Amino acid sequence: MKKFLFIAATAAAVLSACAQTEETHKVNAQGDAVGFGVYVPQTKAGAAGQTTTASIQRSEANGGGFGVFAYYTNDGDYSASAKPNFMYNQGVFYNASKWEYTPIKYWPNEYGTGAHSTGTDKVSFFGYAPYVATASGPYGITAFAPANNAAGNPTVTYVIDPTPSTAVDLCWAVKSDTGLPWINQTKQSTSGTVAFLFKHALARFNVNVRGYFDAVRSAEGAVSTDDIDTNTKITIEKIEIKGTFAPSGTLNLNNTTANTALWTPATAAETTLTIPNADIAASLKATVDGETSFPSIAGVTKTNVNVFTGAAPAKTDATYYTFIPTTTSTTLNVKITYYVTTQDAKLDGGISCVKNVIDKDITFASGFTCGLNYNLNIVLGMTTVKLEATVSDWADPTDVDIDLPVNL
């Protein structure tokens, strides 16, 4: 899913920073203000939670807006030796029917028979979302570089939030035709319009669960013909996902590979992400340390549901773990603790309750790619446990099953 940002020339004025006296032989003609307009399809790139066109139009205090860095390099090309002297973390916000920012900046003009230079002034633009006025706090965007008086590519430091409901997506801007940043732009060559396409810089995964009963699955993604017997309930105590992740990273907004986020990750460390009993959906949640009576909840059925919501899997951002992408083989160990409770009037207490703890390694040979969902679907059977992983673009998953050992 994508987000589009448009930077357009919309008003008439001169660029005061370039204005000189006649003695310099630079002629200033009528210029145009750099204005902003934005279209945001349904995607997450603002405050925590699902972002839509309406939500990114919220005020700065409510997580709206986007940020821009811009470098003016006179008639030379952009390089890492340039300074962000045209815009520095410029916030742009929606007001009534248009996008506004202050102070207004203007496209440079340097042309005419009396011009000092035969070259054409250039400005390079870099964008990110969501906008943060001051980078701070324990998670999310925690720093920007370089300083406004220093040279270098614009970068954003990001720290992973281990809680899906509060994690914030991070996007960076590219050209739609090249997948690279908008550098060396001129008013004359672009007719005053620059279009940003926001790409997701992070990867993320979700966890779903379903049961498969009374048969061996015929194919990946197959749904059980039979549902669980009415006298048995499967309830989940917790799920643990262990892997080696970078706890933070620095995103260079001047990516060099098309549509690929340019990350410098921190040293990776083994981390266990635990979905505790308190966060398991009410329709799936086990009584801690085992059931003492027959559960009244639905429990695990043949229908795939999200472990956080207990509802059919959906692209709900608050249920995804976000993390820094990797390019090397990565292995996750997925462990689930659950109970199988059966009504039996002949037993003491009228039930049997069996605790099951199953884990399985699953390897992603190519690592995790920015902008992809990795949906981990845990499939529980009465005699086997299977783990399936789905890898998709931001919108439409496709399923891949990985079978677990026999659960004796």
Q: Which residue, 178, 174, 179, 198, is CA-closest to 124?
A: 174
pLDDT of residue 178: 92
Spans in the chain with pLDDT lower than 50 = 1-30, 37-47, 49-52, 112-113, 384, 398, 406-408
Structure tokens at 332: 């996750």
Parallel, antiparallel or unpaired: strands 182-185 and 123-129: antiparallel
Rounded-to-integer distance, Cα 143 and Cα 358, Å = 40
> Could you give phi then psi for residue 278, rounded to 5 degrees?
-65, -25
Distance CA 211, CA 224 (A): 7
Cα(239)–Cα(376) distance, rounded to whole angstroms? 11
For residue 57, is it left (φ>0), alpha (ψ between -120 and 50) or beta?
alpha
Return the pLDDT at 115.
53
Nearest residue to 87 (alpha-carbon basis) of 194, 239, 212: 194
Distance of CA 402 to the CA centre of its chain: 25
Domains of the chain (ranges, CATH numbers):
3-200 (no CATH), 203-406 (2.60.40.2630)
Residues 6+ apart with CB under 8 A from 7: 34, 35, 36, 68, 125, 182, 193, 194, 195, 196
If one counts every other C-beta atom within 10 angstroms of the C-beta of residue 154, the result is 26
Return the pLDDT at 324: 95
pLDDT at site 9: 34
Per-residue pLDDT, 182:
92
Looking at residue 399, its pLDDT comes to: 57
The pLDDT score that the predictor gives to residue 13 is 25
Residue 205, pLDDT score: 87
Give the per-residue pLDDT at 395: 54
Residues 172/198, Cβ–Cβ less than 8 Å: yes
